[in-house]
A and B are shown apart, each in its own frame.
Chain A
Amino acid sequence: MNVIQMLVLACLLLGGCAAKGTTVVLLEDPDGKVGKVSVTTPAGAQKLDAPRQSTHIEKKESAPSVVTIMEQKAIDRDFGQALSAMPTPPQTFLLYFEQGTTSLTPDSRLQPARILAAIRERVSTDVRVNGHADRVGSNDKNMRLSLERAILVRDYLVGEGVEASIIQAFSHGEGNPLFPTADGVSEPRNRRVEVLVR
Chain B
Amino acid sequence: MRLSLSIILAILFWVGNALATGTVAGHVKTLNGQVQVQRGAIYTPASLGQPLFIEDIIATGQNSTVGIMLEDDTLVSLGPGSRLELKDFAFDPSTETFGMALRLLKGSFAYMSGVIGRMAPEKVSVETPDAVISTHGTRFLVKVEERQ
A residues contacting B by CB (< 8 A) are 18-30, 33-41, 48, 57-60, 64, 75, 78-90, 122-123, 125-126, 198
Contact = CB atoms under 8 A, between A and B. Distances in A.
Given A20-B147, A57-B130, A58-B130, A84 B65 contact: yes
Interface of B: 27, 29-30, 32, 48-49, 51, 63, 65-69, 73, 75, 77-80, 82, 108-110, 112-113, 128-147
B79 A85 contact: yes
B94 to A, nearest CB: 14
Nearest to B32: A85
A75 B141 contact: yes
B67 A79 contact: no
Contacts of A48: 140
A81 B79 contact: yes
B65 A37 contact: no
Contacts of B48: 123
Most buried by B among A22, A80, A81: A81
A27 B75 CA distance: 14
A81 B147 contact: no
Given A27-B141, A36-B136, A123-B49, A82 B108 contact: yes
Given A22-B143, A123-B49, A125-B49, A87 B68 contact: yes
Of B32, B68, B130, most A-chain CB atoms within 10 Å = B130
A153 to B, nearest CB: 21
Contacts of A37: 133-136, 138, 140
A126 B144 CA distance: 32
A59 B130 CA distance: 5
Given A26-B140, A89-B112, 12 more contacts: A20-B146, A26-B138, A30-B112, A36-B135, A37-B134, A38-B135, A58-B130, A81-B65, A82-B110, A85-B79, A86-B75, A123-B49
Given A20-B147, A87-B29, A35 B113 contact: yes
**Quick one: which of B77, B109, B138 has the most chain A CB within 10 A?**
B138
B131 A60 contact: yes
8 contacts: A21-B147, A22-B128, A27-B138, A35-B137, A37-B136, A41-B132, A58-B130, A78-B143
A87 B69 contact: yes
B71 to A, nearest CB: 9
Given A78-B108, A87-B29, A39 B136 contact: no
A19 B131 contact: no
A181 to B, nearest CB: 26
Contacts of A22: 128-131, 142-144
B69 A24 contact: no
B140 A198 contact: no
Nearest to A84: B65
